[in-house]
Amino acid sequence: MAVGLEVVASNIAGFLSAIAPVISLILIILGGIIYGVAQTQPPDSRGKWQAAAISIVIGGVIVGAIAGAASFIQEQSSGLLKPM
């Protein structure tokens, strides 16, 4: 049973590693579009849209950073369980 769970976890990790850069790019582009559209809004609602757009862009950057560092994070965390 444990081998089956290991295979499933490995498949999920591979899938997430494959789509993370795409999700990051989509979030950054979407944030840019929302920020541009926010410039056409009246001043009382522009700030809300700009804040949302910046949050989306930052989320995209964070997803990209985690996806880029995923192999390093995996190597470091796998060494935590080894006896010293």
Among candidates 1, 4, 47, 57, which has minimal Cα distance to 27? 57
Under 8 Å between Cβ of 8 and 30:
no
The pLDDT averaged over each successive group of 10 residues in the chain (84 residues) is 72 86 96 96 93 97 91 78 68
Number of domains in the chain: 1
Separation between Cα atoms, residue 73 and residue 67, nearest integer Å: 10
Domain that holds residue 65: 2-81
> What whole-number distance in Å separates Cα of residue 30 and Cα of residue 51?
13
pTM recorded for the entire structure: 0.77
Question: Alpha helices of 1-84 — where are they, by DSSP H?
Answer: 2-38, 43-68, 70-78
